[in-house]
Amino acid sequence: MSVGEEVILVVDFGSQYAHLIARRVRELKVYTEIVFPEITVPEIEKISPKGIILSGGPRSVYEKDSPLLSDEVFDFILKKEIPVLGICYGHQLIAFKMGGIVKGEKRKEYGIATVDILDSEGIFKDLDKKETVWMSHGDQVFEIPPGFIVTSKTETSPIAAFRNTSKKIYGLQWHPEVVHTKNGKKILSNFVYNVCSCQGTWNLANFIEETMKEIKSKIGNGRAIIALSGGVDSSVAAAITEKAIGNRLYAVFVDHGLLRKGETEIVSKAFSGHDINFKKIDAKKRFFEKLDCVSDPEKKRMIIGEEFIRIFEEEAKKIGADFLVQGTIYPDVIESGRSQHADTIKSHHNVGGLPESISFKEIIEPLRDLYKDEVREVGRKLGLPDKIINQYPFPGPGLAVRITGPVTEENIRICREASAIVEEELENASIENIWQAFAVTLEDKVVGVVGDQRKFGRIVGLRVVESQDAMTANFKKLPWNLLENISTRITNEIPEVVSVAYFISHKPPQTIEPC
Ligand code: XMP
Q: What spacing in Å lies between the alpha carbon of 230 and ligand 1's midpoint?
A: 15
Separation of alpha carbons 306 and 29, rounded Å: 38
Rg (the chain; Cα; Å): 25
Separation of alpha carbons 165 and 336, rounded Å: 39
Q: Which residues line ligand 1 (CB under 6 A)?
A: 301, 335, 345-346, 348-350, 393, 395-397, 436, 470, 507, 511-513
Q: Which domains does the chain have, with CATH numbers?
A: 7-195 (3.40.50.880), 204-389 (3.40.50.620), 402-502 (3.30.300.10)
Annotation says 88 is catalytic:
yes
Q: What spacing in Å lies between the alpha carbon of 376 and ligand 1's midpoint?
A: 16
Atom index in ligand 1 nearest the CA of residue 229 equals 15
From 19, 91, 137, 175, active-site residue: 175
pLDDT value at residue 347: 55
User: 227 with 387: CB under 8 angstroms?
Assistant: no
Q: What spacing in Å lies between the alpha carbon of 395 and ligand 1's midpoint?
A: 5
On the CB side of 361, CA atoms within 13 Å amount to: 12
Separation of alpha carbons 56 and 74, rounded Å: 17
Residue with the smallest CA separation from ligand 1 atom 11 is: 395
Give kind and range of the element (H or E) at residue 152: strand 149-153
Residue with the smallest CA separation from ligand 1 atom 20 is: 395
pLDDT value at residue 352: 39
pLDDT value at residue 177: 93
Q: What spacing in Å lies between the alpha carbon of 475 and ligand 1's midpoint?
A: 16
pLDDT value at residue 16: 78
Which among 465, 438, 433, 395 is positioned nearest to 234, based on CA atoms? Answer: 395
Annotation says 177 is catalytic:
yes
In 10 A of CB 144, how many CB atoms? 22
Q: In degrees rounded to 5, what are phi and psi of residue 189?
A: -65, -40
Residue with the smallest CA separation from ligand 1 atom 12 is: 395
pLDDT value at residue 108: 72
pLDDT value at residue 336: 58
Residue type at 291?
A: L
pLDDT value at residue 291: 97
From 88, 196, 198, 415, active-site residue: 88
Burial (0-12, 13-18, 19+ Cβ within 10 Å), 395: buried
* Cα→Cα distances 94→48, 78, 194, 340, Å: 20, 11, 20, 21
Q: Mean pLDDT by 10-residue block, N- to C-terminus, for the chain (515 residues)?
A: 74 88 92 93 96 94 91 96 97 95 80 92 95 88 96 92 94 92 96 97 90 95 89 93 94 93 86 84 96 95 90 85 89 60 52 51 90 91 88 91 97 98 96 96 95 94 90 93 98 98 94 95
Separation of alpha carbons 14 and 301, rounded Å: 26
Give exposure, 298-311, as e/b (b: 16+ Cβ within 10 Å).
eebbbbbbbbbbeb
* Cα→Cα distances 215→34, 202, 260, 325, Å: 22, 19, 31, 10
Annotation says 293 is catalytic:
no
Give exposure, 268-295, as e/b (b: 16+ Cβ within 10 Å).
eebbeebebbbeeeebbebbbebbeebe
CA dihedral for 25, 27, 467, 397, sign (positive or negative): negative
